[in-house]
Amino acid sequence: MSPIRVALAEDHALVREGISRLVEAQADFELVGVASDLPQLIEIVEQHNPDVVVTDIRMPPTGTDEGIQAAAWARAHRPAMGVVVLSQYASPSYALALLEEGSAGRAYLLKERVSGVDELASAIRAVAQGGSVIDAVIVDDLVRSRSGRRASDLSWLTGRETEILAEMAQGKSNAGIAAKLSLSERAVEKHSNSIFSKLGLREERDINRRVKAVLIYLSGQDGD
């Protein structure tokens, strides 16, 4: 089996070295390039076509949201490539921005909670296979923001709604969900609106409601 080819972007030298060693220590990983800013990362991706990028959320040239920009660029130019964003910021807004175009192949981990190789390595393997990993702290913040409702509200969903939410969690559009479940797009839209309502996501932009619903679903899958 071919190794998972990983590129790393991190502007702090010590952190960069530490993560590089963690990646290189895994028998099923191959570190193909290391960058310290967004332009270098894109150059590495174009040259080496890695399976997964692990990137800091803030780095040069602007020190704002380069990790989110990298994920958006990857969605447009390397849709099969997974992206793991490492952040020191627990604000759900960053996770929402990361997942705006779908959750498939995306992970958002808080640096302070990546205690060792296992959590990071698991996230790399998950996104390489098209999965999603969102730090539990972020999910908890979103769940608490729903007027005190809990992730157990998933039990209110019908079987069909649960199926649709599971497809959403794979990053599929309404059209993709409709094709998979042999439904019309109109039916998927109706079910989606019902899901948003039952999860208390009535007053959000639709894309944010969709992403929050996915995060709540992922929380429920972890047994929350």
Residues of the chain with pLDDT > 90, as a percent, come to 50
Write the pLDDT tens digit of every residue in 168-207: 877 778 898 999 999 999 999 999 999 888 887 766 556 5
- CATH 3.40.50.2300 residue spans of the chain: 4-134
- What is the bridge-based pairing of β-strands 4-9 and 82-87? unpaired
**How far is the C-alpha of 67 from the C-alpha of 93, rounded, in Å?**
13
Q: What is the pLDDT of residue 221?
A: 53
pLDDT band at 4 (very low <50, low <70, confident <90, very high): very high
For 86-154, give the DSSP string.
EES---HHHHHHHTTT-STTEEEEEGGG--SHHHHHHHHHHHHTT-EEE-HHHHHHHHHTTTT--GGGG
Write the pLDDT tens digit of every residue in 15-73: 899 999 999 999 999 999 999 999 999 999 999 999 999 999 999 999 999 999 999 99
- CATH 1.10.10.10 residue spans of the chain: 144-221
The two structure tokens encoding residue 84: 């793991």
**How far is the C-alpha of 108 from the C-alpha of 120, rounded, in Å?**
10
**pTM of the prediction?**
0.72
Q: Does domain 4-134 have CATH number 3.40.50.2300?
A: yes
CATH class of 144-221: mainly alpha
With both helix axes pointing from N to C terminus, report the angle between 159-168 and 206-221 in degrees, rounded to the nearest 10: 100
Q: Do the Cβ atoms of 48 and 33 come closer than 8 Å? A: yes
Q: Do the Cβ atoms of 92 and 142 come closer than 8 Å? A: yes
**70-85: buried (b, 16+ CB within 10 Å) or exposed (e) per residue?**
bbbbbbeebeebbbbb
**How far is the C-alpha of 2 from the C-alpha of 173, rounded, in Å?**
30
Q: Give the highest mean pLDDT range of 92-96, 101-105, 188-192.
A: 188-192
